[in-house]
Structure formats: C-alpha cells, structure tokens
C-alpha cells in the first residue's frame, strides 16, 4: 500500500529511485511550511470535503498543522460562488425589486387617467391617443439621462441619486393631479403633469436598468433582466386588478393620491440606500475640477457612438426599432370602441390587462427557465409571427364573430384584448439581455438608455402612424365601420420585419457564455497540474493523461 511507504516522521513517499548515496535525514522541525498547489480535475469540485487523493490525504493526516492547502472554488453557472452570498443582494432586491414593481404598477393611475380623459373630459379618440403618445416625449431623451448618469456623479454615486430624483418628480406630478383640481380639468395643466411624470419615470428607469446591468456584469450573472420583467409583470397584475375595481367606486383623483403615497415609500427606500453597499466595482470619479462637465459628457457620447457603431449592436438595434415603428397602432380607437360601442365595464378593461400581465409573467418565467437557450433569431421570428396574428383577434371582436361562436364580448375582451401588447412587451426581453451583456464597463447607462429611448421613439412613431391611419380611413367617435381595414393593415405591417430577420444574432448571450465556460473547463484539464515545495526544494510533476499511460 502507498501508506506503508511513508515514514511516521517524514510524510512524503520517495520520489527518486534508491541510489548508493543515502538521502539526507529530514529535519523534524519543519522550518518552512509545506505549500501544495494541487489542481484537480474540475469535475471533482462538486464536494469540497472529498479527499484530493491518497497522496494529499496522507500529507494532511500526518501533518495537519504544517500543510497549507489552497482550494479552488468553482463558479456556478449563475456567476456566484458556492456557499457565498452576493454582496449587496438584499439592497438590490429592495431597491430595484420595489422600483420595477412600482414601474409596473404605474398602470394603476394611468388606467384612471385614460377613463378620466375619455369620460370626464370627453376627448376625441385621436386626441386621446395624441395625448398618450405626446406624454411619452420625455422618454425619448433617455440617452441624455444615461450619459449624465455615467459621467456626472452626485454625492460620489451615479445611479441611486438619479433614482431618487426621478421618483421625486413623479410624486410631484401625481400629487398635483390628486390635490389640485384644475390640474386634472384643464388639458394644458394635465399635459404638464403627464410630461413631468414621464420625465421622472424615464430618469428612474434609466438608472435602474444601468444598475441592474452593472450588477449583473460585476457578479457574472447573465439574464438578470428577466427578473426585472417578472417584477414589472407582478406590478402590472396588481395595478390593473386593483385599478379596474377602484374605478367603480372611487374617483380618479383618489387613485392618483394612492399612487403618490406608494411613490413616497419608494423615495424613502432610495434615499436610505447607499450605492457603495451594493458591492459594485467603483470606477474613478471624473475630475470635474480639471475639466468641465461638458467635456466629460462629450467623452461619454464619443464612447457611446463607438459602441453603437459595432455591427453586433447596431444591427439588432435597428431591427427591433424598425419592427415597432413600422406597425401603426390603433390603441386609442380600440379603447374607445370597447367603452363606447360595446359598453364594456371598467372592471372588464382592468381585468383584461390583468390577464395580459399574467401571460407576460408566465412567458418571462418560461424564458428564464428554458427559452433563453433557444437561438435568438428563431425565438424572435416566432414571437414576431405571433405578434402579427394577435391583431386579427381584434377583428373577431369588431365583427362580433365571437358572439356567433357563443363567446360574450366581456369574456373575449377579458382573455384576448391585450394579447398583442403583451407579446410586444415580451419581444423586448431578449434584446434587453443582449445589450446588457454587450455594454462595456462604465457605459451601461448610456447603452441601455439609448436602447430604451430608441424603443420609446419607435413606439411614439407607431402611435402617430396609427393616428394618421385612423384619420385616413375615417375612424372617428361613433363611426368604427372602417376599423377592420386598419387592423388588417396592422397585421400586414407586423409581418414585414421578418424579411430582415437576419439582422438578429443567431445565438443568445446565455449560449455564448455557456460555450465559453465549456471551453474554459476543457483548457483547465490540459494545464500543468502544479508543483510541490518543501524546505525550498521544488519537485515539478505533470499528471500523465490516461491515453498516454495506456500507450
């Protein structure tokens, strides 16, 4: 046995063949520690308590106090270390988890605002859709907020302070609509509050998205954006569910006040969070004394332009923007048709959004569990086809085909009314994961905000195209006979981006990361095993491959 070759006083077996010269008698005092750097097969790392081998086990049993053993910890697939919790995970969960939940809950006051404009202010369907899309104009300036977040520090931090500023602006806007009567009655004052609310929401979203991307890169976590979509969907479910029933018994101003209180809670959480507690790599703060703020901003813009010029970023970005902008949305006309012609109850409208958000939550979980390993081009192509065919469900409702099938208007609207919007939201998730993985260090806010701004601008273009289409084909309040023609145009327009699907990358970031991990494991198997040092002497050895031994 190997253990019989080891003397009680000398823990190492003989490494050389016997010769005429006797070996020097080893010292029993061990003036220097024994360092054993033993690189094992990475497949053995599953149990850190498993013995390395008979040789190392004998060393540890003979001289447990004299041997220093360095064990390599294996990184798990999600980027964390086994048995080690991520730094700042609880703070991130509270700050960003609550933030994205509140962002999804914004449908609660917006549902009340849409009914307020449609029933109390009696706005024309096209004017209602114009107000909705014009209120999103602050979202277009998201790249500016992202550049400022990357280049301009506030109190030594560049993410959390911007979250607080954005939430504060939202509190002021919705609080004014709740407490100042003229703010909700006069259209100019209402538009000012809507613009201020979306300005604050856009600043907060940019800072949160950049913070999540930076946290994922620091801790080697790919696909963290799927959890943000889950929080958004949960907030949307509760917001639409509560909002639909509150409209029956509560005035819109009360709903604005409740949302303002919720925003105040989010503001207190962001003010109590310190960015350094999140465990992120602190970049050197720009020297604003040596050079102006504008120079820092110009440098950040130059870096953003360099990143966007990369074909791996520009091509998928161009596709997602074009696929949204090319489809004329008729959301205002559909909403007015459901409330004015079909006389659907507000609770039905709210519950239909609840079903949509539940579907979004379900498909997001499926993406996180299974679909993120599907080739991205194949996944996006299937989603775009489903998106185009989802418009045809509106024709079923407008033509009342559902009544011929024995399905009531309430049930059909409850199950299928918001399906197209749900698919459109889910289509953004793979691209969010892609751009978050491609954003370089220090440019997370700029690239993610540019993506969000481009998507928002394409949505505004889509909305204005819908307004023009409604006016062109003669859709107006009380006359929706040409609405099916507009829906067919939407269906055809949604199929056109499939002709340029080659702009979408074939492989997802998760597949690329797993491929690199497998290649890294293979390379580790072929590395030099290590060396053993005892009292200054070095005995280098290399583990023979089994194929070589058999040969």
DSSP string, 360-388: HHHHHHHHHHTGGGS-HHHHHHHHHHHHH
Residue 44 has a pLDDT of 40
Under the banding of pLDDT at 50, 70 and 90, the label for residue 136 is confident
Among residues 159, 164, 150, the alpha carbon closest in space to that of 207 is found at 159
CB-CB contact of 9 with 42 (8 Å): no
Q: Radius of gyration over alpha carbons of the chain, in Å?
A: 31
> Pick from 213, 234, 235, 277: which is nearest to 436 by CA?
213
Q: What gap in Å lies between CA 78 and CA 444, rounded to an integer?
A: 20
Q: Given pLDDT bands bounded at 50, 70 and 90, which one contains residue 269? A: very high
The pair of structure tokens assigned to 458 is 């394409």
pLDDT of residue 383: 94
Asked whether 543 and 529 are in contact (CB, 8 A), the reply is: yes
pLDDT value at 499 more than 50: yes
Please, what is the Cα angle at 491 between 486 and 493, to 5 degrees?
90
Which residue from 57, 58, 66 is spatially nearest to 4, judged by alpha carbons?
58
* Phi, psi (rounded to 5 degrees) for 288: -75, -10
Is the pTM higher than 0.95? The answer reads no
Best CA proximity match to 74, nearest among 51, 48, 50:
48
Neighbours of 118 (CB within 10 A): 18
Tell me the average pLDDT of the chain.
75
Helix axes 107-115, 89-105, angle to 10 degrees: 10
Give the CA angle between residues 60, 62, 67 to the nearest 5°.
Answer: 45
pLDDT tens, position by position, 360-379 = 889 988 988 888 888 899 99
**Reduced to 3 states, what is the DSSP secondary structure of residue 37?**
strand
Indicate the range of 234-248, 377-391, 440-454, 506-520 predicted with least confidence.
506-520
Question: What's residue 51's pLDDT?
Answer: 42
pLDDT recorded at residue 24 = 53
Q: Single out the residue of 408, 413, 400 nearest to residue 348, CA to CA.
A: 413
pLDDT at 26 over 70: no
pLDDT in tens, 196-245: 999 999 999 988 888 888 887 777 777 677 888 888 888 888 888 888 77
Which residue in the block uniquely carries the two structure tokens 């020097």? 24
Domain residue limits, the chain: 87-277+296-516
pLDDT digits (tens, 9 = 90+) for 27-41: 444 444 444 444 444
pLDDT at 265: 94
Residue 463: partners with Cβ closer than 8 Å, 6 or more residues away: 129, 132, 133, 329, 331
DSSP bridge pairs for 479: 476
d(CA 98, CA 516): 34
Q: How far apart are CA 280 and CA 157, in angstroms?
A: 11
What confidence tier does 292 reach under pLDDT thresholds 50, 70, 90? Answer: low
The residue-averaged pLDDT of 137-152 equals 82
The answer, yes or no, to whether residue 395 has pLDDT greater than 50, is yes
Instruction: Give the distance from CA 323 to its chain's centroid.
Output: 20
Which of the listed ranges 149-163, 369-383, 527-541 does the model predict with the highest average pLDDT? Answer: 369-383
Lowest mean pLDDT among 28-32, 259-263, 343-347, 521-525: 28-32
Q: How far is 211 from 13, CA to CA, in rounded Å?
A: 55
Q: What is the CATH number of domain 87-277+296-516?
A: 1.20.1250.20
Mean pLDDT within 161-167: 93
Q: How far is Cα 510 from Cα 119, in angstroms, rounded to an integer?
A: 48
> Which secondary-structure segment (H or E) carries 9?
none
CB neighbour list of residue 146: distance below 8 Å, 6 or more residues apart? 206, 210, 445, 446, 447, 448, 449, 450
Q: CA dihedral defined by 257, 259, 264, 270, rounded to 10 degrees?
A: -170
Distances 522 to 43, 79, 257, 533 between C-alpha atoms, Å? 11, 18, 59, 27
pLDDT tens-digit profile of 47-100?
Answer: 444 444 443 344 444 444 443 333 333 344 444 443 445 666 788 888 888 999
Question: What sign does the dihedral 290-294-295-301 (CA atoms) show?
Answer: positive
């Amino acid at each position: 046995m190997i253990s019989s070759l080891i003397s009680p006083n000398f823990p190492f077996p003989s490494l050389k063949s016997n010769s005429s010269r006797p070996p020097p008698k080893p010292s029993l005092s061990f003036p220097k520690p024994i360092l054993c750097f033993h690189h094992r097969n990475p497949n053995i790392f599953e149990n850190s308590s498993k013995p390395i081998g008979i040789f190392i086990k004998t060393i540890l049993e003979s001289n447990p106090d004299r041997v220093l053993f360095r064990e390599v910890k294996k990184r798990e697939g999600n980027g964390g270390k086994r048995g080690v919790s991520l730094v700042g995970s609880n703070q991130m969960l509270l700050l960003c988890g609550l933030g994205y939940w509140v962002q999804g809950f914004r449908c609660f006051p917006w549902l009340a605002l849409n009914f307020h404009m449609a029933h109390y202010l009696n706005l024309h369907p096209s004017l209602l859709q114009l107000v909705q899309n014009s209120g999103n104009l602050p979202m277009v300036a998201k790249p500016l907020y992202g550049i400022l977040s990357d280049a301009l520090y506030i109190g030594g931090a560049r993410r959390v302070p911007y979250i607080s500023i954005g939430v504060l602006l939202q509190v002021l806007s919705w609080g004014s609509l709740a407490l100042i009567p003229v703010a909700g009655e006069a259209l100019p004052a209402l538009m000012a509050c809507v613009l201020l609310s979306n300005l604050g929401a856009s600043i907060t979203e940019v800072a949160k998205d950049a913070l999540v991307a930076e946290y994922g890169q620091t801790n080697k976590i790919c696909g963290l954006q799927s959890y943000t979509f889950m929080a958004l969907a949960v907030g949307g479910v509760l917001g639409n569910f509560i909002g639909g029933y509150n409209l029956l018994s509560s005035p819109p101003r009360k709903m604005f006040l409740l949302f303002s209180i919720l925003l105040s809670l989010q503001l207190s959480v962001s003010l109590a969070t310190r960015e350094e507690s999140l465990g992120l790599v602190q970049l050197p703060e720009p020297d604003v004394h040596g050079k102006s703020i504008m120079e820092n901003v110009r440098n950040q813009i130059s870096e953003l332009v360099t990143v966007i010029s990369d074909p791996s970023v520009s091509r998928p970005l161009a596709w997602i923007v074009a696929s949204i902008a090319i489809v004329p949305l008729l959301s205002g006309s559909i909403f007015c048709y459901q409330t004015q012609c079909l006389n659907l109850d507000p609770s039905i409208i709210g519950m239909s959004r609840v079903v949509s958000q539940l579907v979004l939550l379900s498909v997001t979980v499926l993406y996180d569990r299974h679909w993120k390993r599907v080739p991205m081009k194949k996944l996006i192509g299937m989603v775009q086809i489903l998106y185009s065919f989802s418009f045809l469900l509106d024709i079923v409702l407008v033509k009342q085909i559902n009544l011929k099938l024995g399905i009531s208007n309430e049930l059909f609207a409850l199950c299928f009314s918001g399906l197209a919007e749900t698919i459109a939201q889910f289509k953004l998730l793979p691209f969010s994961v892609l751009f978050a993985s491609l954003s370089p260090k220090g440019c997370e806010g700029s690239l993610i905000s540019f993506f969000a701004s481009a998507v928002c601008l394409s949505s505004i273009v889509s909305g204005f195209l819908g307004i023009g289409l409604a006016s062109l084909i003669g859709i107006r309040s009380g006359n929706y006979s040409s609405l099916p023609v507009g829906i067919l145009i939407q269906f055809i327009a949604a199929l056109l981006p499939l002709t340029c699907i080659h702009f979408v990358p074939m492989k997802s970031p998760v597949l690329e990361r797993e491929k690199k991990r497998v290649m890294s494991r293979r390379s580790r198997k072929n590395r030099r095993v290590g060396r053993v040092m005892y009292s200054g002497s070095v005995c280098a050895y290399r583990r023979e491959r089994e194929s070589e031994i058999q040969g």
